[in-house]
Amino acid sequence: MSTASRIAIVTGGSRGIGRAVASRLAAAGQDVAVVYASNAKEADAAVGEIEAAGARGIALRADVADEGEVAAAFDAVEQRLGPVDVVVNAAGVMALRPIRELDLTELDRQLRVNVRGTFVVAKVAARRIRPGGAIVAFSTSVTRLHLPAYGAYAASKGAVEALVPILAKELGERDITVNAVAPGPTATELFFDGKSQQLIDRIAGLSPMNRLGTPQDIAELVTFLAGPGRWVNGQTVFANGAAA
């Protein structure tokens, strides 16, 4: 199967890394469905970028942790675009606080979106994606950086890293690759939220390149894994400019 002219679903595709991924996949020739949680305006803007790249795009609202809503999103994509070849689960939430101070409701939210959401999307994708397709999940380089205040977030992403190689072995007979991308500090709204400029500069300095990653940096890697990178499978690939 050509890795262009594919049909992709990108969860969390209305902003940040997910939006950059959706645009980059479109530039590579893939039609893209943007799945978003609440911001319809940004999702529509993301679809505009997909169409500007010459691909078809649609926006769909779904809670990634709700199996019925995720299945309904797949139904809509199949009806409006065609059978799904690529699923990129970029949806995620992050609450930063030392472990001793973290409210358990914040822990539960991160586990619901980052762990259950990843599992649900993977489960539905495993049933619906066409042979020769690709699934890309998201971890984080914080699982190696061990930064204070990231305990709950890193723990949730550690679960993603455990899931990926197992699913890759389960789907190997259908020639479906499954990988995770683990970005380092990346210049997104999610990253900047609540951080002082001093802290941002210190984190950027963790990389010998002395900068933050960009959503486009990560999108290039995802596009490789979702396209020509057929012999990379069951891996967590770190994209952090040597910050970890």
Confirm if 178 and 168 have CB atoms less than 8 A apart.
yes
Check if the beta carbon of residue 237 is closer than 8 Å to that of residue 221.
Answer: yes
| pLDDT attached to residue 2 | 58
Catalytic residue of the set 153, 191, 224, 238: 153
Taking a C-beta distance cutoff of 8 angstroms, is the pair 23, 53 a contact? yes
For strands 57-61 and 86-89, give the pairing: unpaired
Q: What is the pLDDT of residue 235?
A: 98
Check if the beta carbon of residue 222 is closer than 8 Å to that of residue 21.
yes
Q: Give all strands (DSSP E) within the chain, no chain letters.
A: 7-11, 31-36, 57-61, 86-89, 134-138, 177-183, 236-239
Q: Give the pLDDT of residue 4.
A: 59
> pTM of the full predicted structure?
0.95
Q: In what order do the strands lie in the sheet with 134-138?
A: 57-61, 31-36, 7-11, 86-89, 134-138, 177-183, 236-239
Write down the pLDDT at residue 91. Answer: 97
Give CA–CA dist 177/144, Å, rounded. 24
* Alpha-carbon gap, residue 213 to 31, rounded angstroms: 26
* Residue ranges in the chain modelled with pLDDT below 70: 1-4
Do 191 and 215 meet the contact criterion of CB atoms below 8 Å apart?
A: no
pLDDT at 99: 97
Q: Is 153 a catalytic residue?
A: yes
pLDDT of residue 121: 98
The DSSP bridge pattern shows strands 7-11 and 177-183 to be unpaired
- CA distances in angstroms from 45 to 27, 108, 126, listed in the order given: 16, 31, 29
Tokens read off for 31: 């039609």
* Euclidean distance between CA atoms 155 and 139, whole angstroms: 10
pLDDT of residue 186: 93
Short-list 43, 57, 44, CA closest to 14: 43
**Residue 14 and residue 35: Cα distance in Å, rounded?**
7
Domains in the chain and their CATH numbers? 7-239 (3.40.50.720)
CA distances from 97 to 4, 61, 66, 81, 196 (A): 42, 29, 27, 42, 15
Cα separations (Å) of 27 from 52, 82, 148? Answer: 9, 18, 38
Q: Identify the pLDDT of residue 190.
A: 80
